[in-house]
Amino acid sequence: MRIKQIIAALFLCVFLVLSTAVLGHSYSSILAFGDSLSDNGFYQGYPGGTPGNTNPNDIYGFKYFTNGPVWVEYLADPSHLNVPLFDMAYGGATTSGDNPAAPDPYKHVTGLQWQVDTYTSVYSAVPGDALVTVWAGANDFFQLRDYETAAQNVTSAVQKLADAGGNNFLISFLPDIGLTPRFLGTEFQESATLWSEAFNMLLAADLAVLASTPEYGDINIYTLDAFTLLRDFIANPGFYGFTDVSTSGNGNPPEGYLFWDGVHPTTAAHALFAYYAMGAIGVPVPEPVTILLLGIGVVGLTGVRRRFSKRAQGCIHT
């Protein structure tokens, strides 16, 4: 209970000191880094990756770890930001440089740090008007790694990308891993939830410290609260159009399912993450989505936008 109280206090504290203005931004492109939650086919396209499978009964479909587009694709879509997407995310990636889930000889590459280092070595600079997204951490839990290092790794990736010229970052907190079908109702559910909470708490603090330093004081760091959003999907399934939030589709018709397999959400959930992400970065949300978000109270209670500023540091370390 103690860690839950700390996390609740931290997020409330950060929210209260953030700027209340919601400012729209124009982005030239989206650069995505992370794991399977952002992978739009890189795993299949990279040497050693699994070739694309067009069998409609294949649980991972043509190229995704879900049954359709992932959230960054929705975010880049003409109906949303309408910008090009450059996606470096790789399924199975940890927050370090490795990827134990990748086939040999690629287990020691394709992790988050490798993605960032590869991008910056090839392209040298990150466009200052690009939106850089980072969503990683779950595979560190699956590999039984500690959350402190995982949170530091994500912050390190953001720092590297900022050093290369990045100005606008959208970082996702982890969803509640304990509520995924793989862990729900098992002896590992509580530890999965606590790991997710601890990771999110430390990541929020690390990002706030980064943004509070003079060198990085001008960058914009927004966060996507996937933890709260997933919990709300499960608490109010009918409101979102879900009929099953505790088991997975496993290749069945995906309509109504929140989870496509034991840990990955369906494309319907990805679409909702993208809609919420638009609000998080201060971009006007399509009217039906605005009504949806206001209806669940996510916008009203936690804000559509979390921007870390210098004022956040003292509050977080209280």
Using one digit for the tens of pLDDT, what is the confidence trace for 119-156?
999 998 999 999 999 999 999 999 999 999 999 999 99
> Which amino acid appears at position 30 of this protein?
I
224 strand-pairing partners: 172
What are the pLDDT digits (tens) for 51-73? Answer: 333 333 344 444 568 888 999 99
Of 61-70, 177-186, 219-228, 283-292, the range with the lowest mean pLDDT is 283-292
SS (H, E, C) the chain: CHHHHHHHHHHHHHHHHCCCCCCCCCCCCEEEEECCCCCCCHHHHCCCCCCCCCCCCCCCCCCCCCCCCCHHHHHHCCCCCCCCEEECCCCCCCCCCCCCCCCCCCCCCCCHHHHHHHHHHHHCCCCCCCEEEEECCHHHHHCCCCHHHHHHHHHHHHHHHHHCCCCEEEEECCCCHHHCCCCCCCCCHHHHHHHHHHHHHHHHHHHHHHHHCHHHCCCEEEEECHHHHHHHHHHCHHHHCCCEEEEECCCCCCCCEEECCCCCECHHHHHHHHHHHHHHCCCCCCHHHHHHHHHHCHHHHHCCCCECCHHHHHHHCC
Listed residue (149, 152, 153, 89) closest to 119, CA to CA: 89
CA–CA separation, 271 and 287 (whole Å): 15
Residue 291 has pLDDT above 70, yes or no: no
Res. 106: pLDDT tops 70: yes
Which phi and psi angles does 6 have, rounded to 5°? -65, -45
Is it the case that residue 195 has pLDDT exceeding 80? yes
Over the stretch 8-56, which tens digit does the pLDDT of each residue have?
Answer: 444 444 433 333 333 456 899 999 999 999 999 865 544 444 433 333 3
Structure tokens at 104: 């040999």
Q: Determine the length of the chain.
A: 318
140, 147 Cβ separation under 8 angstroms? yes
Radius of gyration of the chain (CA): 18
Lowest-pLDDT choice from 5-14, 57-66, 218-227, 278-287: 5-14
Q: State how far the Cα of 108 lies from the Cα of 210, in Å rounded to an integer.
A: 28
What are the φ and ψ backbone dihedral angles of 32, each rounded to 5 degrees?
-110, 135
Token digits of residue 68: 């359709």
What are the structural domains of the chain?
2-18+25-316 (3.40.50.1110)
